[in-house]
Amino acid sequence: MIHARIAGTGSYLPGEPVSNHDLVQRGIDTSDEWVATRTGIRFRHLASAETGASDLALIAAQRAIESAGCEAGDIDLIIVATSTPDYIFPSTAALLQSKLGIRNGGAAFDVQAVCSGFVYALTVAEKFIRSGANKRALVVGAEVFSRILDWSDRGTCVLFGDGAGAVVIEASETPGIIATALHADGSHHPILCVPGGVASGQVIGDPFLRMDGQAVFKFAVKVLGDVANEVLDSAGVEAASVDWLIPHQANIRIIQATAKRLGMPMDKVITTVEKHGNTSAASIPLALDLAVRDGRIQRGHRIVIEGVGGGFTWGAALIEF
Ligand code: ACO
């Protein structure tokens, strides 16, 4: 049986951290106290105007490839999860493939599931590897959410940041990604969306992120608890035997509520939301890479990753690292 195993991780945050106080200095009508107590966020990173998602993805990918001990040319599948692509087309994955110097490579495509994007992309890549179609996949979450924020809307602009995280997964005789679950319910799209697009050379609709924060909060806590239990049940694994929970990093109160529902103590939960806010599809691989590099996550540890995002979409994976 072919398994899909994480061989390496990498991440990248652009520029210097921008604190809540810095946002106040920039004229946003907020305070460190308001943002930190409601969300746990203290800093975010904001990419420069000329930096696209593919640029952030490139550095995270190079770090993941190095940590996997392989070469870019060994990658035969690239999936980038992003809701803030460089262009309408080509895909960010195709641009990343080019920047990595891969020519005549395997498939490269984007997955758009907003903050669940990395869980979706990892699950798709896992299926390709386990089918025997591919040997080594690069899975990236990369976002420049600062581009779709309405900086006059203090209820949303303080919550998000830019960044990228990546993993290399490869065919292996040992697990591996043990179980995955993906879900969507598009009927909830109005509570979190960017309800605009481009047509005939013009922006049609509203090009900024709009959110009903309280509705999102309630929905996120419910589905994150459910989907984590779903992957554990499908693998016959107790929450108590999981070493680490890596939830999507949107809000510390959502993370705490989810951990409580699973009966997991917070010292088994990787949290990075304080340092970079909500980086959407990048948040889970950013947190994974941090905890691998600081030595908390070790080979053989069991990890649950889980995400929820606009769509609504949600999903989880149980991984033996
Ligand atoms: N600074 C200061 N005051 C603010 C700010 C701000 N940045 N934003 C809103 N306020 C004010 C509002 O104007 C309002 O004032 P009023 O009472 O005078 O009208 C007051 O704070 C309360 O506003 P609410 O929107 O009701 O605040 P709430 O307590 O619900 O907190 C928050 C808002 C933090 C967004 C919360 O609803 C939340 O965490 N929701 C989850 C949303 C989330 O994490 N989304 C991430 C994307 S989704 C995802 O990744 C799954």
**Same domain as 66, residue 169:** yes
Query: Which residue out of 20, 154, 158, 258 has the highest number of ligand 1 atoms within 8 Å of its CB and is therefore the one to mutate?
Result: 154
Domain final residue, candidates 146, 174, 202 = 174
The vertex-88 CA angle with 85 and 91, nearest 5°, equals 60
DSSP letter string over 33-58? HHHHHHH---EE----TT--HHHHHH
**Same domain as 184, residue 168:** no
**Same domain as 137, residue 78:** yes
Confidence of residue 100 (pLDDT cuts 50, 70, 90): very high
CA of 198 to the centre of ligand 1 (A): 29
Counting the structural domains of the chain, the total is 2
Give the list of residues 6+ apart from residue 124 with CB closer than 8 angstroms, or none: 79, 111
CATH number at residue 127: 3.40.47.10
Burial of 55 per CB tally in 10 Å (0-12, 13-18, 19+) = buried
CA of 154 to the centre of ligand 1 (A): 8
Confidence of residue 259 (pLDDT cuts 50, 70, 90): very high
**SS3 annotation, 234-270:** HHCCCHHHCCEEEECCCCHHHHHHHHHHHCCCHHHEC
Please state the separation of Cα 8 from the chain's center in Å. 16
Give the list of residues 6+ apart from residue 218 with CB closer than 8 angstroms, or none: none
Domain that includes residue 87, residue range: 3-174
**Same domain as 127, residue 15:** yes
User: How large is the average pLDDT for residues 12-37?
Assistant: 98
The protein residue whose alpha carbon is closest to atom 37 in ligand 1 is 213
Annotated catalytic residues are: 115, 248, 278
**Same domain as 287, residue 186:** yes
Closest ligand 1 atom to residue 248 Cα is 50
Task: Yes or no: say if 219 and 191 are a contact pair by the CB < 8 Å rule.
Answer: yes
Q: Is the CB of 151 under 6 A from ligand 1?
A: no
**Same domain as 244, residue 142:** no
**Same domain as 161, residue 63:** yes
**Same domain as 220, residue 182:** yes
CA torsion through residues 81, 82, 83, 85, sign: negative
Closest ligand 1 atom to residue 159 Cα is 46
pLDDT at residue 242, as a whole number: 97
Task: Yes or no: say if 266 and 253 are a contact pair by the CB < 8 Å rule.
Answer: no
Query: Which residue out of 31, 32, 38 has the highest number of ligand 1 atoms within 8 Å of its CB and is therefore the one to mutate?
Result: 38
Q: Give tens-digit pLDDT for 71-91.
A: 999 999 999 999 999 999 999
Running DSSP on this structure, what letter comes out for residue 162? E
Please state the separation of Cα 113 from the chain's center in Å. 10
The protein residue whose alpha carbon is closest to atom 34 in ligand 1 is 38
pLDDT at residue 139, as a whole number: 98
Domain final residue, candidates 118, 140, 174 = 174
Burial of 169 per CB tally in 10 Å (0-12, 13-18, 19+) = buried
Query: Which residue out of 216, 222, 252, 313 has the highest number of ligand 1 atoms within 8 Å of its CB and is therefore the one to mutate?
Result: 216
**Same domain as 308, residue 222:** yes
The two three-digit tokens of residue 195, written as one number: 């309800």
CA of 83 to the centre of ligand 1 (A): 22
**Same domain as 34, residue 141:** yes
Secondary structure class of 103 (helix, strand, coil): coil
pTM across the whole model: 0.97
Q: Give tens-digit pLDDT for 221-233.
A: 999 999 999 999 9
CA of 35 to the centre of ligand 1 (A): 8
Give the list of residues 6+ apart from residue 222 with CB closer than 8 angstroms, or none: none
User: How large is the average pLDDT for residues 25-44?
Assistant: 98
Give the β-pairing of 244-247 and 302-309. Answer: parallel
pLDDT at residue 109, as a whole number: 98
Domain final residue, candidates 174, 207, 234 = 174
Burial of 31 per CB tally in 10 Å (0-12, 13-18, 19+) = middle
pLDDT at residue 244, as a whole number: 98
**Same domain as 183, residue 169:** no
CA of 304 to the centre of ligand 1 (A): 28
**Same domain as 155, residue 38:** yes
